A and B are shown apart, each in its own frame.
Chain A
Amino acid sequence: MKKKQLRRNERNRVKALLSAALLIPGLYIGSVSAQTAPSSPEVRIGYMEYRDAQKSDDRMRVHTPHAWFRLPGFGKSEVEGSLTFDSMSGASPYFLSTLSGASGMGVDDQRKAGDLKYTHYLDSFSVGLGGAISTENDYLSKTISGESRIWSDDKNTTFTIAGSLTGDDISSRIDARVDEDRRTGSVLVGITQVIDDKSLVQSNVSFSSGDGYYSDPYKPLDNRPRSREEWAWLTQYRRFLSDYDAALHLDYRLFADSWDVMAHNVSVAWYQNIGESWVIRPSIRYYTQSEASFFDSEVPPVDREKRFSADQRLSDFGSVTAGIKLEYAMAKDLSVSVSADVMHQRSGLAAFGHEATDIKPFNAAFGIVQLIKRFP
Protein backbone atom coordinates (compact mmCIF):
# COMPACT_ATOMS: atom_id res chain seq x y z
CA MET A 1 0.00 0.00 0.00
CA LYS A 2 2.78 2.38 0.99
CA LYS A 3 4.79 1.55 -2.15
CA LYS A 4 1.79 2.33 -4.33
CA GLN A 5 1.31 5.61 -2.50
CA LEU A 6 4.95 6.56 -3.02
CA ARG A 7 4.72 5.67 -6.71
CA ARG A 8 1.63 7.79 -7.10
CA ASN A 9 3.24 10.66 -5.23
CA GLU A 10 6.16 10.51 -7.59
CA ARG A 11 3.90 10.50 -10.60
CA ASN A 12 1.87 13.34 -9.18
CA ARG A 13 4.99 15.35 -8.67
CA VAL A 14 6.04 14.74 -12.22
CA LYS A 15 2.62 15.76 -13.39
CA ALA A 16 2.67 18.81 -11.21
CA LEU A 17 6.06 19.79 -12.51
CA LEU A 18 4.91 19.23 -16.05
CA SER A 19 1.93 21.37 -15.39
CA ALA A 20 4.02 23.92 -13.56
CA ALA A 21 6.29 24.01 -16.54
CA LEU A 22 3.26 24.43 -18.72
CA LEU A 23 2.10 27.28 -16.60
CA ILE A 24 5.36 29.12 -16.84
CA PRO A 25 4.53 31.37 -19.70
CA GLY A 26 6.62 31.04 -22.76
CA LEU A 27 9.28 33.68 -23.06
CA TYR A 28 8.61 34.53 -26.62
CA ILE A 29 10.64 37.38 -27.88
CA GLY A 30 8.58 37.30 -31.03
CA SER A 31 8.86 34.96 -33.92
CA VAL A 32 10.95 35.63 -36.98
CA SER A 33 8.65 37.04 -39.61
CA ALA A 34 8.90 38.05 -43.22
CA GLN A 35 8.19 41.69 -42.44
CA THR A 36 10.66 44.29 -43.54
CA ALA A 37 8.87 47.28 -42.11
CA PRO A 38 6.72 47.92 -39.04
CA SER A 39 3.56 45.86 -39.29
CA SER A 40 0.17 47.30 -38.56
CA PRO A 41 -0.50 47.70 -34.82
CA GLU A 42 -2.53 45.03 -33.12
CA VAL A 43 -3.68 44.04 -29.65
CA ARG A 44 -4.94 40.60 -28.64
CA ILE A 45 -6.43 39.53 -25.34
CA GLY A 46 -7.92 36.24 -24.35
CA TYR A 47 -7.26 33.07 -22.48
CA MET A 48 -6.52 29.41 -22.79
CA GLU A 49 -8.04 26.49 -20.94
CA TYR A 50 -5.88 23.43 -20.73
CA ARG A 51 -6.53 20.01 -19.29
CA ASP A 52 -4.55 16.84 -19.34
CA ALA A 53 -4.86 13.30 -18.12
CA GLN A 54 -2.70 10.29 -17.96
CA LYS A 55 -4.94 7.95 -16.07
CA SER A 56 -8.66 8.41 -15.95
CA ASP A 57 -8.52 9.73 -12.42
CA ASP A 58 -5.66 12.20 -12.90
CA ARG A 59 -6.64 15.64 -14.08
CA MET A 60 -4.67 18.82 -14.18
CA ARG A 61 -6.36 22.01 -15.15
CA VAL A 62 -4.74 25.24 -16.23
CA HIS A 63 -6.37 28.57 -16.92
CA THR A 64 -4.18 31.07 -18.72
CA PRO A 65 -5.24 34.65 -19.40
CA HIS A 66 -2.88 36.10 -21.97
CA ALA A 67 -2.38 39.37 -23.77
CA TRP A 68 -0.21 40.22 -26.76
CA PHE A 69 0.40 43.52 -28.47
CA ARG A 70 2.36 45.17 -31.21
CA LEU A 71 2.33 48.95 -31.22
CA PRO A 72 4.30 51.61 -33.05
CA GLY A 73 7.30 53.13 -31.33
CA PHE A 74 9.16 56.32 -32.12
CA GLY A 75 9.89 56.93 -35.76
CA LYS A 76 10.02 53.75 -37.81
CA SER A 77 9.92 51.29 -34.96
CA GLU A 78 7.62 48.99 -33.09
CA VAL A 79 7.19 47.50 -29.66
CA GLU A 80 5.97 43.96 -29.26
CA GLY A 81 5.18 42.22 -26.02
CA SER A 82 3.03 39.82 -24.12
CA LEU A 83 1.80 39.15 -20.59
CA THR A 84 0.71 35.89 -19.06
CA PHE A 85 -0.84 35.08 -15.72
CA ASP A 86 -1.80 31.56 -15.20
CA SER A 87 -3.35 29.48 -12.54
CA MET A 88 -3.20 25.79 -12.06
CA SER A 89 -5.60 23.67 -10.13
CA GLY A 90 -5.65 20.03 -9.36
CA ALA A 91 -4.21 17.62 -6.87
CA SER A 92 -1.08 19.17 -5.53
CA PRO A 93 1.83 16.91 -4.78
CA TYR A 94 3.97 19.70 -3.39
CA PHE A 95 2.38 19.50 -0.03
CA LEU A 96 1.99 15.74 0.27
CA SER A 97 5.21 15.39 2.16
CA THR A 98 4.38 18.10 4.60
CA LEU A 99 0.66 17.65 4.91
CA SER A 100 -0.20 14.04 5.40
CA GLY A 101 -3.49 12.92 4.04
CA ALA A 102 -3.65 16.03 1.90
CA SER A 103 -4.01 14.15 -1.37
CA GLY A 104 -6.80 15.66 -3.38
CA MET A 105 -6.33 19.01 -1.70
CA GLY A 106 -6.72 21.66 -4.32
CA VAL A 107 -4.01 24.19 -4.79
CA ASP A 108 -4.13 27.42 -6.70
CA ASP A 109 -0.83 28.54 -8.03
CA GLN A 110 -0.03 31.61 -10.03
CA ARG A 111 2.68 32.12 -12.58
CA LYS A 112 3.49 35.46 -14.09
CA ALA A 113 5.52 36.24 -17.17
CA GLY A 114 6.09 39.07 -19.54
CA ASP A 115 8.25 39.89 -22.49
CA LEU A 116 9.04 43.00 -24.49
CA LYS A 117 10.87 43.64 -27.73
CA TYR A 118 11.75 46.93 -29.37
CA THR A 119 12.57 46.88 -33.08
CA HIS A 120 13.86 49.81 -35.10
CA TYR A 121 13.57 49.73 -38.88
CA LEU A 122 16.03 51.30 -41.28
CA ASP A 123 16.06 51.22 -45.06
CA SER A 124 17.78 47.91 -45.55
CA PHE A 125 17.84 46.33 -42.12
CA SER A 126 16.23 46.29 -38.71
CA VAL A 127 17.57 45.88 -35.19
CA GLY A 128 15.64 44.61 -32.21
CA LEU A 129 16.34 44.25 -28.51
CA GLY A 130 14.21 42.25 -26.14
CA GLY A 131 13.86 40.98 -22.64
CA ALA A 132 11.67 38.49 -20.86
CA ILE A 133 10.99 37.35 -17.35
CA SER A 134 9.03 34.50 -15.88
CA THR A 135 8.42 33.85 -12.23
CA GLU A 136 6.80 31.27 -9.99
CA ASN A 137 7.40 29.85 -6.54
CA ASP A 138 10.26 27.59 -7.42
CA TYR A 139 11.53 29.05 -10.63
CA LEU A 140 12.75 32.34 -12.01
CA SER A 141 13.89 32.91 -15.57
CA LYS A 142 15.35 36.02 -17.16
CA THR A 143 16.31 36.46 -20.79
CA ILE A 144 17.79 39.19 -22.92
CA SER A 145 17.85 38.89 -26.68
CA GLY A 146 18.84 40.75 -29.80
CA GLU A 147 17.82 40.32 -33.40
CA SER A 148 18.75 41.84 -36.73
CA ARG A 149 17.10 41.40 -40.09
CA ILE A 150 18.67 42.35 -43.38
CA TRP A 151 16.71 42.35 -46.59
CA SER A 152 17.68 42.44 -50.23
CA ASP A 153 16.90 45.48 -52.38
CA ASP A 154 13.81 43.86 -53.83
CA LYS A 155 12.84 42.57 -50.37
CA ASN A 156 12.39 39.07 -51.71
CA THR A 157 15.13 37.71 -49.47
CA THR A 158 15.55 38.45 -45.79
CA PHE A 159 18.35 37.24 -43.54
CA THR A 160 17.86 37.00 -39.83
CA ILE A 161 20.37 36.68 -37.08
CA ALA A 162 19.37 36.57 -33.44
CA GLY A 163 20.91 35.69 -30.12
CA SER A 164 19.85 35.42 -26.51
CA LEU A 165 21.14 34.77 -23.02
CA THR A 166 19.02 33.18 -20.32
CA GLY A 167 19.60 32.80 -16.62
CA ASP A 168 17.39 30.47 -14.62
CA ASP A 169 17.16 30.04 -10.85
CA ILE A 170 15.64 26.81 -9.67
CA SER A 171 14.52 25.79 -6.22
CA SER A 172 12.15 23.27 -4.72
CA ARG A 173 9.07 23.69 -2.61
CA ILE A 174 9.69 20.46 -0.81
CA ASP A 175 13.45 20.56 -0.44
CA ALA A 176 15.04 23.78 0.75
CA ARG A 177 18.49 22.50 -0.09
CA VAL A 178 17.76 22.80 -3.80
CA ASP A 179 19.22 26.13 -4.84
CA GLU A 180 20.42 25.80 -8.39
CA ASP A 181 20.91 27.78 -11.51
CA ARG A 182 21.42 27.39 -15.21
CA ARG A 183 22.80 29.64 -17.94
CA THR A 184 21.88 29.21 -21.58
CA GLY A 185 23.03 31.03 -24.68
CA SER A 186 21.42 30.60 -28.06
CA VAL A 187 21.81 31.86 -31.58
CA LEU A 188 19.57 31.66 -34.62
CA VAL A 189 20.20 32.29 -38.31
CA GLY A 190 17.52 32.20 -40.92
CA ILE A 191 16.45 33.02 -44.44
CA THR A 192 13.02 34.11 -45.56
CA GLN A 193 12.59 33.79 -49.31
CA VAL A 194 9.76 34.78 -51.60
CA ILE A 195 9.36 31.93 -54.07
CA ASP A 196 6.76 33.48 -56.35
CA ASP A 197 3.85 35.90 -56.04
CA LYS A 198 1.85 33.26 -54.15
CA SER A 199 4.37 31.47 -51.96
CA LEU A 200 7.24 31.97 -49.59
CA VAL A 201 9.42 29.95 -47.27
CA GLN A 202 11.35 30.61 -44.11
CA SER A 203 14.08 28.36 -42.78
CA ASN A 204 15.88 28.87 -39.48
CA VAL A 205 18.64 27.02 -37.72
CA SER A 206 19.05 27.59 -34.02
CA PHE A 207 21.73 26.42 -31.65
CA SER A 208 21.57 26.58 -27.90
CA SER A 209 24.14 25.70 -25.28
CA GLY A 210 23.40 25.57 -21.59
CA ASP A 211 25.22 24.82 -18.38
CA GLY A 212 23.82 24.17 -14.98
CA TYR A 213 20.94 22.37 -13.39
CA TYR A 214 18.69 20.36 -15.67
CA SER A 215 17.27 17.78 -13.29
CA ASP A 216 13.79 17.69 -11.88
CA PRO A 217 14.01 18.84 -8.24
CA TYR A 218 10.89 16.87 -7.40
CA LYS A 219 12.46 13.59 -8.39
CA PRO A 220 15.25 12.68 -5.95
CA LEU A 221 16.68 10.10 -8.36
CA ASP A 222 16.67 12.43 -11.36
CA ASN A 223 20.26 13.11 -12.27
CA ARG A 224 20.64 14.77 -15.65
CA PRO A 225 23.82 16.05 -17.27
CA ARG A 226 24.85 19.52 -16.27
CA SER A 227 25.06 20.72 -19.85
CA ARG A 228 22.96 20.49 -22.95
CA GLU A 229 23.51 21.49 -26.56
CA GLU A 230 20.49 21.70 -28.80
CA TRP A 231 20.10 22.10 -32.53
CA ALA A 232 16.83 22.88 -34.26
CA TRP A 233 16.09 23.41 -37.94
CA LEU A 234 12.65 24.78 -38.65
CA THR A 235 11.30 25.31 -42.16
CA GLN A 236 7.95 26.97 -42.77
CA TYR A 237 6.24 27.13 -46.12
CA ARG A 238 3.25 29.30 -47.01
CA ARG A 239 1.23 29.11 -50.19
CA PHE A 240 -1.87 30.96 -51.29
CA LEU A 241 -4.30 28.98 -53.41
CA SER A 242 -6.42 31.52 -55.25
CA ASP A 243 -8.75 28.88 -56.69
CA TYR A 244 -9.83 27.95 -53.17
CA ASP A 245 -9.36 31.35 -51.52
CA ALA A 246 -7.28 29.48 -48.97
CA ALA A 247 -3.74 29.42 -47.65
CA LEU A 248 -1.72 26.30 -46.93
CA HIS A 249 0.84 26.23 -44.13
CA LEU A 250 3.44 23.48 -43.96
CA ASP A 251 6.02 23.35 -41.17
CA TYR A 252 8.78 20.88 -40.49
CA ARG A 253 11.28 20.90 -37.68
CA LEU A 254 14.26 18.67 -37.04
CA PHE A 255 15.75 18.61 -33.56
CA ALA A 256 18.85 16.99 -32.11
CA ASP A 257 20.68 17.48 -28.85
CA SER A 258 23.68 16.31 -26.86
CA TRP A 259 21.48 14.02 -24.80
CA ASP A 260 20.94 11.89 -27.91
CA VAL A 261 17.37 13.06 -28.32
CA MET A 262 16.31 13.38 -31.93
CA ALA A 263 12.90 14.67 -32.88
CA HIS A 264 10.85 15.54 -35.93
CA ASN A 265 7.63 17.39 -36.15
CA VAL A 266 5.42 18.17 -39.09
CA SER A 267 2.46 20.53 -39.00
CA VAL A 268 -0.12 21.22 -41.65
CA ALA A 269 -2.74 23.94 -41.45
CA TRP A 270 -5.35 25.06 -43.95
CA TYR A 271 -6.75 28.59 -43.73
CA GLN A 272 -10.08 28.58 -45.49
CA ASN A 273 -11.65 31.96 -46.07
CA ILE A 274 -15.44 32.02 -46.14
CA GLY A 275 -16.97 35.22 -47.42
CA GLU A 276 -15.55 38.46 -46.13
CA SER A 277 -15.68 37.78 -42.41
CA TRP A 278 -14.92 34.14 -41.64
CA VAL A 279 -11.83 32.01 -41.56
CA ILE A 280 -11.83 28.36 -40.57
CA ARG A 281 -8.56 26.61 -39.98
CA PRO A 282 -8.18 22.88 -39.39
CA SER A 283 -4.70 21.77 -38.42
CA ILE A 284 -2.77 18.63 -37.62
CA ARG A 285 0.63 18.04 -36.10
CA TYR A 286 2.67 14.91 -35.77
CA TYR A 287 5.64 14.73 -33.43
CA THR A 288 8.14 11.97 -32.75
CA GLN A 289 11.19 11.78 -30.54
CA SER A 290 13.81 9.27 -29.53
CA GLU A 291 14.84 8.85 -25.93
CA ALA A 292 17.68 10.59 -24.15
CA SER A 293 20.76 8.45 -23.62
CA PHE A 294 20.27 8.44 -19.86
CA PHE A 295 16.55 7.73 -19.91
CA ASP A 296 15.33 4.59 -18.25
CA SER A 297 11.73 3.95 -17.37
CA GLU A 298 12.40 1.10 -15.05
CA VAL A 299 15.48 0.74 -12.93
CA PRO A 300 17.46 3.67 -11.60
CA PRO A 301 21.20 3.03 -11.66
CA VAL A 302 22.81 1.61 -8.58
CA ASP A 303 25.58 4.15 -8.97
CA ARG A 304 23.98 7.42 -7.80
CA GLU A 305 26.55 9.45 -9.74
CA LYS A 306 25.39 8.01 -13.06
CA ARG A 307 23.11 10.15 -15.21
CA PHE A 308 19.51 9.02 -15.04
CA SER A 309 15.98 10.19 -15.62
CA ALA A 310 12.64 8.48 -15.82
CA ASP A 311 10.94 11.62 -17.02
CA GLN A 312 8.49 10.64 -19.71
CA ARG A 313 9.39 13.74 -21.72
CA LEU A 314 12.79 12.16 -22.40
CA SER A 315 11.41 8.83 -23.59
CA ASP A 316 10.61 7.46 -27.04
CA PHE A 317 7.19 8.63 -28.06
CA GLY A 318 5.09 10.10 -30.78
CA SER A 319 2.14 12.40 -30.59
CA VAL A 320 -0.62 13.69 -32.78
CA THR A 321 -2.34 17.00 -32.17
CA ALA A 322 -5.44 17.88 -34.15
CA GLY A 323 -7.27 21.15 -33.92
CA ILE A 324 -9.63 23.61 -35.46
CA LYS A 325 -9.89 27.37 -35.28
CA LEU A 326 -12.61 29.78 -36.27
CA GLU A 327 -12.14 33.50 -36.69
CA TYR A 328 -14.89 36.02 -37.25
CA ALA A 329 -14.48 39.67 -38.18
CA MET A 330 -17.16 41.54 -36.26
CA ALA A 331 -16.02 44.82 -37.75
CA LYS A 332 -13.26 45.97 -40.05
CA ASP A 333 -10.77 46.13 -37.21
CA LEU A 334 -12.26 43.83 -34.58
CA SER A 335 -12.23 40.04 -34.69
CA VAL A 336 -12.87 37.17 -32.36
CA SER A 337 -11.31 33.75 -32.61
CA VAL A 338 -11.93 30.40 -30.96
CA SER A 339 -9.83 27.27 -31.28
CA ALA A 340 -9.75 23.78 -29.83
CA ASP A 341 -7.02 21.15 -29.97
CA VAL A 342 -6.58 17.62 -28.72
CA MET A 343 -3.26 15.93 -28.25
CA HIS A 344 -2.58 12.25 -27.88
CA GLN A 345 0.90 11.17 -26.92
CA ARG A 346 2.18 7.62 -26.54
CA SER A 347 5.26 5.58 -27.13
CA GLY A 348 3.57 3.45 -29.78
CA LEU A 349 3.29 6.50 -32.03
CA ALA A 350 7.04 6.99 -32.14
CA ALA A 351 8.52 6.71 -35.61
CA PHE A 352 11.64 5.10 -34.22
CA GLY A 353 12.68 3.58 -30.96
CA HIS A 354 10.84 0.96 -29.02
CA GLU A 355 7.39 0.92 -27.55
CA ALA A 356 7.52 1.21 -23.78
CA THR A 357 4.55 -0.58 -22.32
CA ASP A 358 5.01 0.87 -18.85
CA ILE A 359 4.55 4.48 -19.95
CA LYS A 360 0.88 5.35 -20.07
CA PRO A 361 -0.50 7.30 -23.01
CA PHE A 362 -0.93 10.97 -22.30
CA ASN A 363 -3.85 13.07 -23.45
CA ALA A 364 -4.37 16.79 -23.42
CA ALA A 365 -6.95 19.19 -24.70
CA PHE A 366 -6.79 22.95 -24.87
CA GLY A 367 -8.98 25.74 -26.11
CA ILE A 368 -8.14 29.34 -26.85
CA VAL A 369 -10.46 32.31 -27.11
CA GLN A 370 -9.23 35.72 -28.12
CA LEU A 371 -10.33 39.16 -29.13
CA ILE A 372 -8.26 40.91 -31.78
CA LYS A 373 -8.19 44.66 -32.25
CA ARG A 374 -6.32 46.05 -35.23
CA PHE A 375 -5.32 49.64 -35.71
CA PRO A 376 -4.88 51.42 -39.04
Chain B
Amino acid sequence: MNKHVCILILLVLATACTPVKPWQKGNLARRDMAITTDPFESNLRDHIFDSKEAARGGRSVGGGGCGCN
Protein backbone atom coordinates (compact mmCIF):
# COMPACT_ATOMS: atom_id res chain seq x y z
CA MET B 1 0.00 0.00 0.00
CA ASN B 2 2.71 2.45 1.01
CA LYS B 3 4.67 1.54 -2.10
CA HIS B 4 1.73 2.44 -4.35
CA VAL B 5 1.45 5.81 -2.64
CA CYS B 6 5.11 6.46 -3.30
CA ILE B 7 4.78 5.71 -7.00
CA LEU B 8 1.75 7.99 -7.24
CA ILE B 9 3.64 10.84 -5.58
CA LEU B 10 6.41 10.47 -8.13
CA LEU B 11 3.92 10.58 -10.97
CA VAL B 12 2.32 13.75 -9.60
CA LEU B 13 5.74 15.35 -9.27
CA ALA B 14 6.54 14.37 -12.83
CA THR B 15 3.54 16.24 -14.20
CA ALA B 16 4.26 19.39 -12.20
CA CYS B 17 7.35 20.31 -14.22
CA THR B 18 7.70 22.91 -16.96
CA PRO B 19 8.50 21.14 -20.25
CA VAL B 20 12.01 22.06 -21.37
CA LYS B 21 12.62 22.33 -25.12
CA PRO B 22 15.47 20.28 -26.60
CA TRP B 23 17.59 23.35 -27.42
CA GLN B 24 17.27 24.65 -23.86
CA LYS B 25 19.04 21.68 -22.30
CA GLY B 26 22.54 23.12 -22.31
CA ASN B 27 22.79 23.32 -18.53
CA LEU B 28 21.33 19.86 -18.06
CA ALA B 29 23.99 18.45 -20.38
CA ARG B 30 26.81 19.66 -18.13
CA ARG B 31 29.07 16.98 -16.68
CA ASP B 32 28.47 18.21 -13.15
CA MET B 33 24.72 17.82 -13.65
CA ALA B 34 24.82 14.12 -14.34
CA ILE B 35 23.10 11.78 -11.92
CA THR B 36 26.43 9.97 -11.65
CA THR B 37 29.26 12.35 -12.44
CA ASP B 38 31.94 9.79 -11.66
CA PRO B 39 31.12 6.10 -12.14
CA PHE B 40 34.65 5.14 -11.04
CA GLU B 41 34.27 6.85 -7.69
CA SER B 42 30.68 5.79 -7.11
CA ASN B 43 31.59 2.13 -7.71
CA LEU B 44 34.21 2.29 -4.98
CA ARG B 45 32.24 4.48 -2.58
CA ASP B 46 29.04 2.47 -2.87
CA HIS B 47 30.98 -0.66 -2.17
CA ILE B 48 32.52 0.74 1.00
CA PHE B 49 29.15 1.82 2.32
CA ASP B 50 27.42 -1.40 1.31
CA SER B 51 29.98 -3.44 3.22
CA LYS B 52 29.94 -1.30 6.35
CA GLU B 53 26.21 -0.77 6.59
CA ALA B 54 23.08 -2.87 6.49
CA ALA B 55 21.36 -0.75 3.85
CA ARG B 56 22.01 -0.96 0.13
CA GLY B 57 20.32 -0.67 -3.22
CA GLY B 58 18.27 1.93 -5.07
CA ARG B 59 21.07 2.97 -7.38
CA SER B 60 21.01 -0.02 -9.69
CA VAL B 61 20.29 -3.70 -9.56
CA GLY B 62 22.65 -6.58 -9.37
CA GLY B 63 24.94 -5.22 -6.73
CA GLY B 64 24.85 -8.27 -4.53
CA GLY B 65 28.35 -9.51 -5.04
CA CYS B 66 29.67 -9.05 -1.60
CA GLY B 67 30.64 -11.52 1.07
CA CYS B 68 29.36 -9.15 3.68
CA ASN B 69 26.01 -10.90 4.10
Instruction: Specify which chain B residues have a CB less than 8 angstroms from the CB of A68 in the assembled complex.
Output: 39-40, 43
When A82-B43, A201-B13, A253-B55 are in contact, do A166 and B64 touch as well, CB less than 8 Å? yes
26 contacts between A and B (CB under 8 A): A17-B67, A24-B65, A27-B65, A29-B62, A29-B63, A44-B39, A68-B39, A133-B65, A145-B62, A164-B61, A188-B60, A191-B10, A194-B20, A194-B25, A196-B17, A197-B24, A200-B28, A203-B10, A205-B7, A205-B58, A206-B61, A233-B6, A234-B59, A287-B49, A313-B68, A366-B44
Instruction: Specify which chain A residues have a CB less than 8 angstroms from the CB of B39 in the assembled complex.
Output: 28, 30-31, 44, 68, 70, 80, 82
Q: Which of B1-23 contact A (CB under 8 A)?
A: 3, 6-7, 10-11, 13-14, 17-22
Task: Please report the C-alpha to C-alpha distance between residue A139 and residue B48 in the assembled complex, in whole angstroms.
Answer: 17
B19-A255 in contact (CB<8A) = no
Shortest distance between the CB of A72 and any CB in chain B (Å): 16
B17-A33 in contact (CB<8A) = no
A232-B43 in contact (CB<8A) = no
- A353: Cβ under 8 A from any B Cβ: no
- Considering only CB atoms, which chain B residue lies closest to A29 in the complex? B62
When A68-B40, A164-B61 are in contact, do A170 and B67 touch as well, CB less than 8 Å? yes
- A184: Cβ under 8 A from any B Cβ: yes
Give the 9 A-B CB pairs with smallest separation, nearest first. Answer: A234-B58, A21-B68, A164-B62, A141-B65, A26-B47, A27-B65, A232-B57, A255-B55, A232-B58
- A77: Cβ under 8 A from any B Cβ: no
B27-A198 in contact (CB<8A) = yes
Which listed residue, B36, B41, B52, touches A345 by the CB 8 Å rule? B52
A314-B54 in contact (CB<8A) = yes
Binary interface profile of A, 228-271, with partner B (CB < 8 Å = 1, else 0)? 00111110101010100011010001010101010101000001
Instruction: Specify which chain A residues have a CB less than 8 angstroms from the CB of B10 in the assembled complex.
Output: 191, 203
Shortest distance between the CB of B5 and any CB in chain A (Å): 11
Chain B interface size, as a band, is 35 or more
- A130: Cβ under 8 A from any B Cβ: yes
Shortest distance between the CB of B7 and any CB in chain A (Å): 7
Instruction: Specify which chain A residues have a CB less than 8 angstroms from the CB of B55 in the assembled complex.
Output: 232, 253, 255, 261, 263, 265, 287, 289
A31-B13 in contact (CB<8A) = no
Shortest distance between the CB of B66 and any CB in chain A (Å): 5
- Considering only CB atoms, which chain A residue lies closest to B36 in the complex? A31
- A103: Cβ under 8 A from any B Cβ: no
Instruction: Specify which chain B residues have a CB less than 8 angstroms from the CB of A126 in the assembled complex.
Output: none
Interface window among A1-9, A89-97, A152-160, A296-304? A152-160
Shortest distance between the CB of B28 and any CB in chain A (Å): 6
Instruction: Specify which chain A residues have a CB less than 8 angstroms from the CB of B21 in the assembled complex.
Output: 154
Task: Please report the C-alpha to C-alpha distance between residue A271 and residue B36 in the assembled complex, in whole angstroms.
Answer: 12
- Considering only CB atoms, which chain B residue lies closest to A160 in the complex? B60
- A224: Cβ under 8 A from any B Cβ: yes
- A138: Cβ under 8 A from any B Cβ: yes
Which listed residue, A18, A28, A205, A314, touches B63 by the CB 8 Å rule? A28
Shortest distance between the CB of A203 and any CB in chain B (Å): 5
Task: Please report the C-alpha to C-alpha distance between residue A50 and residue B32 in the assembled complex, in whole angstroms.
Answer: 26
A113-B65 in contact (CB<8A) = yes
B47-A22 in contact (CB<8A) = yes
Instruction: Specify which chain B residues have a CB less than 8 angstroms from the CB of A164 in the assembled complex.
Output: 61-62, 64
Instruction: Specify which chain B residues have a CB less than 8 angstroms from the CB of A311 in the assembled complex.
Output: 69
B57-A197 in contact (CB<8A) = no
Which listed residue, B20, B40, B47, B64, touches A186 by the CB 8 Å rule? B64
B27-A242 in contact (CB<8A) = yes
Binary interface profile of A, 334-370, with partner B (CB < 8 Å = 1, else 0)? 0001010101010000000000000000101010101
Task: Please report the C-alpha to C-alpha distance between residue A372 and residue B4 in the assembled complex, in whole angstroms.
Answer: 41
Instruction: Specify which chain B residues have a CB less than 8 angstroms from the CB of A208 in the assembled complex.
Output: 57, 61, 64
Task: Please report the C-alpha to C-alpha distance between residue A334 and residue B65 in the assembled complex, in whole angstroms.
Answer: 32
- A119: Cβ under 8 A from any B Cβ: no
Instruction: Specify which chain B residues have a CB less than 8 angstroms from the CB of A66 in the assembled complex.
Output: 40, 43-44
Task: Please report the C-alpha to C-alpha distance between residue A198 and residue B28 in the assembled complex, in whole angstroms.
Answer: 6
